[in-house]
Every structure is written in structure tokens, then in C-alpha cells.
Amino acid sequence: KAWDPAKTFVWCDYISIPQRCSAIQTLAIVSLPVYSSKVSAFIVIAPSAEHMNTAVPCSVKSYRTRAWCRAEMLSHALCKGIANMYLANETGLIPFTRDSTIVTDSTRVFEGEMTCCRMKH
């Protein structure tokens, strides 16, 4: 089913979350699972890169391990199914399947890594 560009809105994780006011940022963060459960399509864009602040390597593998990312994926999958869930790479969109590691990982939200725990908050 084709997307109508005139009716398409893009939400991109970090840049779509307010960064200056911590109270508003917290509200935005806790709403992520609800937001992700309502979108028409869920596309993971997680290229290999180095984190700007920590110099830690980031990739699809690190995305899969993060608790918040798992919660977002699981919320979408439980409400909308995985038919419109994709992983974007250099060649295009790869559809999620029931056997995808990323789908299996998303069911283990509470085993995911939390930045606050890593930072000992």
C-alpha cells in the first residue's frame, strides 16, 4: 500500500524529543510507546556510527539492546502487528518477520539496557 506524501509525517527519535526542558523531555519520552503504537509504519533507521557524546559504537545491534527501543517496537507490534515494520539499510526496507532477531528482542523489554542504569542514575 503506497504512502501519500501529503499525508505522511516523519518522527525521528532524538530530534523529535525536546532537549532543553527536562520536564517536557520526560513527558515526551514516557509517551513514546503510545506514539509508536499509533503510527502507520515503524521503520528502524540505525546505521553504524559512533555516538557523539560517548564515542560508543551504535548500530542495529545496539538499537536492539536498548529497553526504550524494545518498548517502542513491542508497542507497535502488539497494536498494529509487524506487517508495516521495517529495518532500513543501504539497499532499502527489510520487512520484519516473526523470526527476526529484532522482533524476538523486542519482547524482552525489561532485559534491555537503560542509559540511566549505565550512568548509575
How far out from the chain centre does Cα 13 lie? 7
17 assigned to some structural domain: no
Residues 50-84 have pLDDT tens digits of 988 889 898 889 989 999 899 999 999 999 999 99
State the total domains in the chain.
1
Cut 0.85: pTM above it: no
**Angstrom distances, CA of residue 85 to CA of 48, 54, 101, 102, 103:** 20, 29, 13, 11, 10
96 assigned to some structural domain: yes
29 assigned to some structural domain: no
- 58: how many CB neighbours lie within 10 A of its CB? 16
Residue 121 has pLDDT above 60, yes or no: no
User: Which residue has better confidence, 1 or 83?
Assistant: 83
For the ranges 6-10, 21-25, 30-34, 43-47, the lowest mean pLDDT is seen at 6-10
21 assigned to some structural domain: no
Distance CA 60, CA 90 (A): 13
pLDDT band at 112 (very low <50, low <70, confident <90, very high): very high
pLDDT band at 1 (very low <50, low <70, confident <90, very high): low
15 assigned to some structural domain: no
Predicted pLDDT at 25: 92
Residue 43 has pLDDT above 70, yes or no: yes
Residue 77's domain spans which residues? 36-118
Residue with cell 540511566: 116
DSSP 66: B
Residue 113 has pLDDT above 60, yes or no: yes
